[in-house]
Amino acid sequence: MTAEQLLALETRRCEAIGTGDLDALADVLADDYVHILAPGRSVTKTEYIAMIRTSPRRPTRGALLARIYGNAAVLTGALENTIGAPGEAPRVIPAFCTQVAVRQPDGQWRFVSYILTQDRAALQAAAARG
């Protein structure tokens, strides 16, 4: 795995979420995937995919740092989630994420964990702008 390949995996993940392609999303997440939501609750792969089905969103990534450790890798960087169904007023949540991807027994790399923390300074700046 190179940094470019890891970034491409993240692009696939974001595109799958943004287009609501749950099969493509399932393909980039490992079976033991754990996703830590902004309120601190942890959900499984199945629970996370169900959440994306009921709560559409479009993630946009900022600058990303890829660190490769053999058959595992850590990806960190900014993320903006634009949340809301078509026709609804979107909410934009600035955040920072750490993700871990691992080479699976079938040779494919998939994400095994994800944590998102809201960027408090960016939220406050956005609120001040109104």
Partner 1 sequence: MTASLDDIAVLTALEDARCRAISAGDLDTLRAMLTDDYLHVHMTGRVDDRAGHLAAVAARPRRSERGALDIRVYGDLAVLVGEQVNHGADSEGRPTATRAVCHQVAVREDGAWRVASVQLTPLRDPSPASEARP
Contact residues toward partner 1 (CB under 8 A) are 32, 34, 36-42, 55, 57, 59, 65, 67, 69-72, 74, 76, 79, 81, 83, 93-98, 100, 102, 112-113, 115-122
- Min separation Cβ 124 and partner 1, Å: 10
Kindly tell me which of 26 and 44 has the beta carbon lying closer to partner 1: 44
Kindly tell me which of 11 and 55 has the beta carbon lying closer to partner 1: 55
**And the tokens for 44?**
């499984």
Q: Which residues contact 16 (CB under 8 A, 6 or more apart)?
A: 22, 24, 25, 27, 28
- Min separation Cβ 74 and partner 1, Å: 5
Kindly tell me which of 28 and 112 has the beta carbon lying closer to partner 1: 112
- Min separation Cβ 102 and partner 1, Å: 5
Neighbours of 114 (CB within 10 A): 22
CA 128 to chain centre: 27
Kindly tell me which of 23 and 54 has the beta carbon lying closer to partner 1: 54
- Min separation Cβ 120 and partner 1, Å: 4
**Nearest to residue 8, comparing CAs of 95, 98, 129, 108?**
108
Partner residues linked to 116 by β-bridges: 97
Rg (CA), the chain: 15
**And the tokens for 117?**
């923390």
